[in-house]
């Protein structure tokens, strides 16, 4: 049995981990889809680092209702694993720890951001004591130590750890360690291009509609019937793993006129299908968020609500403003092994990153409870890539990646003065 088929043994309304699945309203989704969100009960962690977690969320969609809620439950368990610390982390300054990663490679805010009290972040300091999580450099298998705040959620930060805003990027669950880590790497690669595309306002080439899978074409047709136009752009970076940036434009929607989504996959058609589906789910979230007072909206949805408003439609004109499509790049199908073999897919992703000069690190977040149902949770950390951040005053604008990548892809490079002033619309 797969981990997905056994998730009810661990998570559910009356299971060991209380997780309540809820079906999303179908107003903005195709009728053959089932979409669920799941939330854990609030919980308190007493040790080793006392803290209270309000709740943990996950989402899932499928043509089968049972599968959809199970996917949402797995994502909730993945988030819970990201909060879990099974023993105290060692404390040391980076200069005294030979296996510590180089903090000079870690993304950082610019001097201008750091001068703003709303930033709340500092520069990483190799002489400040911080907590370290054990991990590996995936390409070589060598043991390394990573800043614990870059591998977990909800850790009360020590003074020297305030260089990083804790986020779940790179954490993924799967039926094998290789599958989980491959998904985590894809997420880090995807978020890198989401961030750089927005900040630098990259005019990306469009994806040839001929690459659509049958399901992708079905989704686009459904959107057309609902007066929603789907624009899909090729956001593949120099790493070479297919990445797409999707804008869904609904001129008659007074709340979410333009929304964005993205996806990364070793197979471009699957990335396109996934990005379109994600965008359709985000529309529901934006409508829900718009009903709340601005101060009650979560940080992740705030930008999407603001950019979705009709008066902010111009913020996406750098992609949709009549420039016309540029010639799409040739598309070749990946070897079948990358789709069928988790280990082969992981090797391919790591090789691509390392060849582009980006070291890939990993931490194992699998708890004994998750292992009992065959579920693995991995955290991927790639310091060379640009993080996705939701605090508009702490966007890591001092990271060299933000200014090097556009040139690598043949785009003009904007200075910090000319970066996108609008909030990040991805949610």
pLDDT given for residue 13 in this prediction: 75
| Structure confidence at residue 14 (pLDDT) | 67
Q: Residue 89 and residue 133: Cα distance in Å, rounded?
A: 6
Instruction: Name 340's Cβ contacts closer than 8 Å, sequence gap at least 6.
Output: none
Walking along the chain (427 residues) 10 residues at a time, the average pLDDT comes out as: 80 76 83 89 83 86 90 92 93 98 98 98 97 98 98 96 98 97 98 98 93 95 96 96 97 96 97 95 90 87 95 95 56 77 97 98 96 96 98 97 97 97 96
- SS3 of the chain: the string is CCHHHHHHHCEECCCCEEEEEEECCCCCCCCCCEEEEEEECCEEECCCCCEEECCCEEEEEECCHHHHHHHHHHHHHHHHHHHCCCCCCCEECHHHCCCECCHHHCCCCCHHHHCCCCCCCCCCCCCCCEEEEEEEECCCCCEEEEEHHHCCCCCCCCHHHCCCCCCCCCEEEECCHHHHHHHHHHHHHHHHHHHHHHHHCCCCCECCHHHCCHHHHHHHHHHHHCCCEEEEEECCCCCCCCEEEEEEECCCCCCCCEEEEEEECCCHHHHHHHHHHHHHHHHHHHHHHHCCCHHHCCHHHHHHHHHHCHHHHHHHHHHHCCCCCCCCCCCCCCCHHHHHCHHHHHHHHHHHHHHCCCCCEEEECCCHHHHHCCCEEEEEECCCCCCCCCCCCCCCCCCCHHHHHHHHCCCCCCCHHHCCCCCCCCC
Q: What pLDDT does residue 324 have?
A: 41
249 vs 259: CA distance, rounded Å? 7
């Amino acid at each position: 049995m797969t981990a997905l088929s056994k998730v009810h043994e661990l998570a559910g309304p009356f299971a060991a981990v209380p997780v309540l699945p809820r079906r999303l309203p179908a107003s903005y989704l195709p009728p053959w889809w089932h979409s669920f969100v799941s939330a854990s009960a609030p919980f308190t962690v007493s040790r080793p680092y006392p803290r209270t977690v309000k709740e943990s969320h996950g989402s899932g969609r499928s043509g089968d209702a049972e599968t959809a809620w199970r996917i949402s439950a797995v994502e909730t368990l993945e988030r819970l694993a990201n909060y879990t610390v099974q023993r105290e982390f060692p404390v040391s300054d980076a200069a005294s720890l030979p296996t510590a990663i180089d903090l000079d490679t870690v993304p950082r805010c610019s001097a201008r951001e750091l001068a703003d009290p709303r930033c709340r972040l500092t520069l990483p300091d190799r002489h400040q004591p911080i907590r370290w999580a054990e991990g590996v450099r995936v390409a070589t298998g060598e043991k390394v130590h990573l800043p614990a705040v870059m591998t977990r959620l909800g850790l009360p930060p020590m003074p020297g750890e305030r260089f990083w805003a804790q986020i779940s990027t790179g954490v993924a669950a799967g039926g094998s360690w290789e599958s989980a880590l491959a998904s985590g790497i894809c997420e880090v690669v995807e978020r890198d291009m989401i961030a750089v595309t927005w900040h630098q306002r990259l005019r990306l080439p469009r994806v040839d509609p001929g690459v659509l899978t049958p399901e992708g074409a079905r989704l686009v047709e459904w959107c057309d019937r609902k007066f929603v136009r789907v624009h899909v752009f090729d956001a593949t970076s120099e790493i070479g793993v297919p990445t797409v940036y999707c804008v869904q434009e609904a001129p008659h929607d007074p709340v979410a006129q333009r929304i964005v989504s993205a996806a990364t996959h070793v197979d471009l058609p699957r990335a396109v299908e996934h990005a379109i589906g994600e965008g359709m789910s985000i529309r529901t979230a934006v409508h829900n968020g718009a009903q709340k007072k601005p101060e009650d909206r979560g940080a992740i949805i705030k930008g999407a609500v603001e950019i979705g408003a009709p008066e902010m439609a111009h913020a996406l004109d750098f992609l949709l403003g009549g420039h016309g499509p540029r010639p799409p790049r040739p598309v070749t199908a990946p070897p079948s092994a990358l789709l069928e073999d988790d280990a082969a897919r992981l090797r391919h992703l790591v090789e691509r990153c390392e060849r582009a000069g980006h070291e890939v690190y990993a931490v194992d977040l699998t708890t004994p409870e998750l292992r009992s149902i065959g579920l693995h949770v991995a955290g991927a950390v790639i310091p060379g890539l640009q993080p996705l951040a939701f605090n508009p005053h702490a966007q890591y604008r001092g990271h060299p990646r933000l200014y090097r990548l556009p040139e690598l892809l043949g785009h003009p490079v904007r200075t910090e003065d000319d970066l996108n002033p609008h909030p990040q619309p991805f949610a």
